[in-house]
Amino acid sequence: MTASLSPGALFGLCGAALVGIGLYAIVTHPGLLRRIVGCNILGAGIFLVFGAVARRGGGAGFEADPVPQALVITGIVVAFSASALAVALLKRLSELNVGERNGTAAPTEQRGRL
Amino acid sequence: MTPFAHATTPGGFLLVLAVILPVCAVLAIFACGPRSAARIAMTTLAAGLAIAIAIAVELIASGAALSYVVGAWRPPLGIALRADGLSGAMLVMTALVVVTVGLFARVQYGLHDGAGGGRAQTTFWLMLLALWSALNAVFVGEDLFNLYVALELLTFAAVPLVCLDGRAETVKAALRYLLFALVGSLLYLLGTGLIYGQYGTLDLLTLSRLSRQEPALSAALALMIVGLLAKAALFPLHLWLPPAHAGAPAPASAVLSALVVKAPVFLILRLVLDVAPPQAAAIAGQLLAVLGAASILFCSVMALRQARLKLMIAYSTVAQIGYLFIVFPLAAGSAELPPWGTIAWTGGALQLVSHALAKAAMFLAAGVIAEAFGHDRIADLGGFGRALPLSAAAFGLAGLSLMGIPPSGGFVAKCLLLTAAVIEGYPWLAATILAGGLLAGGYVFRVIDTALAIPAVPVAPRRPVPRRLELAALALAVAAVLLGLVPLRPFGLLQIGRDGLAMAGLP
């Protein structure tokens, strides 16, 4: 069976499995941090699919296509920024919640220069 | 290359300017510091409005789409920008709303912490400009992956706007919005990958000629459209929208509700009409129409039940977005009549623009009310029309457009859609449009009734509100009403640049 499975198909199937795991985590877990991790797994699966597309040469007819790899690099940068933003918001939210629970005022907003 | 390939047209550089000018302003604010943020932003708003108008003038004068091939690298290797009639209308609408909101925010921030830059104020200007650039990039983009990046930039600019005041509930709403948007754009990205694997190109114009009835394409389009639906907040994926849009400061809510949710709708329109093969487009159109109708009915009822003004307006946004999705089966067109020649296409585009103007006006009016009274509980606002006549008028005029009462842009849009529904044989859609109008009347009149009530103890504003703040809302509401004076027929502007596009899948 392994003999008939080309690397492209293997990567594609792995990517599909990761997409499934990521989506499952995002839909079923109530915890926000787990959902953010789910998004990252989903993203990793998608980048693997892009890798499989690159290996197959796409419709362009090359032996291996460089364009999806260029797309993946941009995609990783975007996904990283998204994760950073989500984690920053989550951290802020937990600080605010802890402040509320302890009865102290929430950390005051810093004013002035960025 | 094929004779349909992109080529840079004389006015094409305007499209690049529309995208990079706000980004340059963001960099300039970082370089010059927060003190000059408002000044740089106001200059950019004026210049951006001029660029949008120049693009529209160029479109009308030449009667053809504007294109720009970045770095002279043609697709499929390079990236093209292209603005047809619909994109041009979107660019001008975006510029109008952003500029008015900018004027409103300038006056409002002037009331609180002077011209100097508080952190929230500087963030607002940065994000407003970044959001404008991302919106323009979505409206002129031709490359599916480039559009993904533009959508993500839009999300990253919109999420901080939701939690500008930094309260726990708005941070929570922002995080929920971000997660919905992230899943949406990841699904869109997966679809993009599948399309590239199948066709080796991401250029929309090239794809519109290549696309065939294939399972890979159908799966890719289904993923992309579902992802975009989560971003457009169509029922039942609308749960993130009301808390996010209601919790943001008024100018931010106005931009989010009027413009940000329109970008994914615009992309769905392009995917279904340009890329999807006819049978798949027909099935997708029916499904989208069912969801749109459910959105109109469910969220209008939810809007009726809200106690807070801003939440009511936010639910009304989801309902009004629903109208944009019932366009799909109505504008299916036929062999003789392309989709963009139908009255439903014009009606849908008009609904998009008139809702943007009316909803921005409503959120700004609600912002004035919250500024004056310190809260937005509808029940405690009895007689606010006496204290703030201009805001009450702005709310009422914007409401005309949402209900679809003549003369208003909303009336023309809904009248065209209703006519199309009857002609095309969709009685249930016609009934939904009428019921949605009645329900909108219900929630708008609830507020108007409160405004004109004569309570035993008249409400007094907590602090005086300058007339200029109220004028911004009124100007947008009047613009939404003036749209109703356009003739009731398919517009020439919306068809510019469409004739070069063959119907996808047709020989």
Q: Is pLDDT above 80 for B117?
A: no
Sign, CA dihedral A16-A17-A20-A25, equals: negative
Torsion angle, CA of B41/B97/B492/B9, rounded to 10 degrees?
20
Dist. CA B339–CA B494, nearest whole Å: 11
Q: Chain B partners of A92 at a C-beta cutoff of 8 Å?
A: 166, 171
For residue B31, being part of any structural domain is answered with no
Burial class (CB in 10 A: 0-12, 13-18, 19+), B47: middle
For residue B280, being part of any structural domain is answered with no
What is the ipTM for the molecules in this complex? 0.86
Q: Chain A partners of B230 at a C-beta cutoff of 8 Å?
A: none
Distance of residue A5 Cα from the nearest chain B Cα, in angstroms:
18
Q: Is pLDDT above 50 for B413?
A: yes
Cβ atoms of residues B224 and B187 within 8 Å: yes
Give the residue with greater pLDDT, B496 vs A29. Answer: A29
Predicted local distance difference test score (pLDDT) of residue B200: 81
Can you tell me the mean pLDDT for B393-405?
89
B75 pLDDT band, cuts 50/70/90, is confident
Can you tell me the mean pLDDT for B133-156?
93
Q: Is pLDDT above 90 for B51?
A: yes
Task: Note whether B166 contacts A: Cβ–Cβ < 8 A.
Answer: yes
Can you tell me the mean pLDDT for B107-126?
76
SS (H, E, C) B86-140: HHHHHHHHHHHHHHHHHHHHHHHHHHHHCCCCCHHHHHHHHHHHHHHHHHHHHHH
DSSP B393: H
> Where in chain A are the domains?
7-101
What value does the mean pLDDT of chain B take? 86
Predicted local distance difference test score (pLDDT) of residue B412: 87
Predicted local distance difference test score (pLDDT) of residue B214: 83
Whether B200 sits inside 8 A of A65 (CB atoms) is yes
Region A7-101: CATH code = 1.10.287.3510
Q: In which domain, by residue range, is B357 found? A: 296-497
Q: Chain A partners of B155 at a C-beta cutoff of 8 Å?
A: 82
Task: Note whether B30 contacts A: Cβ–Cβ < 8 A.
Answer: yes
The domain tally of chain B equals 1
Can you tell me the mean pLDDT for B82-90?
89
Tokens of B429: 């859609």
**Percentage, residues of chain B above pLDDT 90:** 39
Q: What is the pLDDT of residues A60-81, one digit of tens each?
A: 556 677 888 889 999 999 999 9
Sign, CA dihedral A18-A20-A21-A22, equals: positive
Task: Note whether B178 contacts A: Cβ–Cβ < 8 A.
Answer: yes
Q: Does residue B264 have a cis bond before it (omega within 30 degrees)?
A: no
**Percentage, residues of chain B above pLDDT 70:** 94
DSSP symbols for B408-462: SHHHHHHHHHHHHHHHHT-HHHHHHHHHHHHHHHHHHHHHHHHHH---SS----S
For residue B332, being part of any structural domain is answered with yes
